[in-house]
Structure formats: structure tokens, C-alpha cells
Amino acid sequence: MTVAFLLVCFRILSAIPIPGVDKLRLEEFFGSSQLFSMVGIMAGGTMSNLSIIMLGVGPYITATIIMQISTMLFPKLKEAYYEEGAAGRAKFNRYARYLTVPLAGLQAYAFLNLLGSQGIVGSLGLMDMVKNIIIIMAGSMLVMWIGEMISEQKMGNGISLIIFAGIVSSLPQTIVNMIQSYNPTELLTYIGFVIIALAVIAGVVFINEGERKIPVSYAKQVRGNKMYGGVSSYLPIKVNQAGVIPIIFAISILLFPQFLAQASVLFSKSLSLKLTDFVNQFMNNQYYYSAAYFLLVVIFTYFYTSVTFDPKEISKNLQRAGGFVAGIRPGESTTTFLSKVISRITLWGAVFLGLIAILPNVVSMFTGIAILTIGGTAILIVVSVALETLRQINSQLMVRDYE
């Protein structure tokens, strides 16, 4: 009930727009920009009317990316994240929240400048600009808080559920638009779209649930008059260890040059115009954009998997518990073996995520039909979040039954 209430609050906030928005220009802008249409999905549907929470979870996601990269650059931060347990992760999340504040301010300023240049919002004076930035920053912090409150209910990941809610809320309007624009001569196209959607759903379920089970045995230990261990188990390694996070990360990175180009107007207007022109040319080239998107998704899949699955730590934990992989020496040999396995299995997950991410672009290039709003990424997020939420709900029910 609490989760439903929080999601309803989120949807109510997403319906409150900032002042001075030209709805027609806004629709034209999002219709002509595939990247910003996808950003609208990632923001949880809050950009469709430029609501007070228009940035959604974007700044928090960007802050998390920076913090995750920092664990690879700063050993002390990595040590806190991995070795201090829950306290270390709490400290990590606190730093991410602190970083969200300036990032939200920067993104709000850059985005308002971009909207002003497109004539979507009127010319803003200094006080109006400051007022809107403060409102948008406060909205971002509120969305972050809602996400964390949902996560605390152990009914799924709060950030993912917010994005899920935004996608699902847009489906009725999308279906209505498809019905209104239905043309009997394009029946085969609609059938093809349904077949592609079903194939994507089946593929997402197959990849998300797919895992390799590595057999693990535990040595027998005698303590007093009792013998412990001597049992066999397995270590599950998922094909898609990173979930939908790499796609969210990739979109954040693709969006960053656009924000940078708008923010550079503070230093040089001519530089800002040149950067904006370059970014627009790149984003409007389907081939360059799709290639960059695919590569970023693959890179972030490997990166995020390396953050969440550390073969060295798992090898140490197995050794401490008296466990070993069958046929592999404990210690360095186990670490090497696990590294090879995770590297090979992640390749399939990374390529799959990359293909799903660029599927709408590929379909659009060959057919001229844009299915971005309910494209592969949206289906991937909806199915993945639904599966993960059901898994967590079942886990909670099992714990309650046990108690």
C-alpha cells in the first residue's frame, strides 16, 4: 500500500508543469529528438509536460555513475563499499545524494537554456531562472527520496519502479494514438510490430533468467564431536548481471554533451553554438548515434558487472567458508576461473542489451516507422522490473512464512 501511495504521489507531481511552457513546441521537440524522447522515458515520464520534477531520477543516476567510477579510482572508497558491509554502502549512497544536488542544478540550468533556445519556454530573467532551477532541484531531490522510500519497502528497486511507472503510464495514450492512426493498408506492419514485441519480451525473460551454475563443494570440518560441511552447492552467475542499468548509464552519457554545450554559454556563446551544432549533427546521424549507443551499453555492461561481481572477493569468501569450485584450486586459480567465466557470459548479456537498445533505431532506419516510445528499451525495463519486483515479493513472503 505504501509503495502504491508513493507512486501515485510521483505521478501527481509529474502532472504539475513549470510556468510558461509552449505545449505545441514541446511536442514537436520531443517528436523530432529520439534521444530526448528516451530521456523522457528514463525520467519516468516527467518531461512530457515539463513538470516540476522534469529531471526525474536523472541527476541521481548520474551521481551514482560518478560514484561507481570513483570506486575504481580511489582505493579507500572501494574498500568502504566492499569491506565495510551495510555501513560502507550507506556511506556510499550518502555521498551520491550529496553529489545529486549540484548535478541537478547544472542539469536544470542547461536544460532550461536548451528549452529557451527552442522557444519551448519564454525568455527567463535572472530571478525567474534561479526560481525555476531551485524548483527543479527540489523536485529531483523529492523524486530521489520517493525512490529510496520505495526501496526500503523491499518491494523492488525504487528508482527502477519510478521509471517503470512512467513507461506504463504512457502506454494507454500510446495505444490510443496507434488506434487513431490505424491504416488498414499497414496491417502487416502492425502485425510485424506485435511479433517483434513478443520476441523481445521472450528474449528479455530468457536472458534475465538465464544463469550458469558453477558447482561448489565445502570441505568437511570437525568441531568437537560434530562434523560440518561436506555438502555441495552451486554459485549462480547470471547472463545479464547488470540488469537495465547499462542502458540508463549509456543514455546519461549520451545526454551529457548536450547539457555541456548548453552550460558552456556561461563562458562563450560562440563556443556553445559550435558545440550544440556538433552534438545535433552527431545525434541526428542514425548510424553514428546507434553505434555510439551500442558501444556504450556494452562497455557499461562490463563495467557495472565488474562493480557488482568481484571474482577476487567471491574467491576469498568461498575460501573463508571452506568452499571450493570443483577441479579448481582455492585462491588465485579460483579468481582467474571466475573472471574468465564472467567475462564470457557477460558478452552475451552485453550484446543482447546493446541490440535491444538500438532496436527502435534499426527498425526506424529500415521501415521509416518510429516505435521509440514503446521500443525495445521500454519493453526491457518493464519486463525486467516486473520480474525483479515479483522475485523480491516472493522472497519477502517466504521470509514471513518462515517466521
**Three-state secondary structure along 246-261?**
HHHHHHHHHHHHHHHH
Q: Does residue 16 come out as left (phi exceeding 0), alpha (psi in the -120 to 50 range) or beta? A: beta
State the amino acid at position 72 in one-letter form.
M
Q: What is the pTM of this model?
A: 0.76
- Under 8 Å CB-to-CB from 269, ≥6 apart: which residues? none
Residue 227's φ and ψ, nearest 5 degrees, are -110, 130
pLDDT of residue 375: 64
Residue 129: strand, helix, or coil: helix
* Helix spans in 153-268 (H): 158-180, 187-209, 245-263
pLDDT of residue 84: 63
End-to-end alpha carbon distance in the chain: 22
Measured CA to CA, the distance from residue 398 to residue 392 in angstroms comes to 10
State the amino acid at position 102 in one-letter form.
P
Q: Which residues of the chain are under the pLDDT cut of 50?
A: 372-373
Domains of the chain, each with CATH number or no CATH: 1-166 (1.10.3370.10), 183-403 (1.10.3370.10)
- ∠ CA(299), CA(301), CA(306), 5° rounding? 100
Measured CA to CA, the distance from residue 133 to residue 139 in angstroms comes to 10
CB burial of residue 43 (10 Å; 0-12, 13-18, 19+): buried
pLDDT of residue 372: 47
pLDDT of residue 220: 64
Q: Are 53 and 143 in contact (CB under 8 A)?
A: yes
- Tens-place pLDDT, residues 261-293: 766 666 677 777 777 787 777 777 778 888 888
Least Cα distance to 358 among 251, 279, 252 occurs for 251
User: E strands of 67-145, at which residues?
Assistant: none
- ∠ CA(336), CA(339), CA(340), 5° rounding? 90
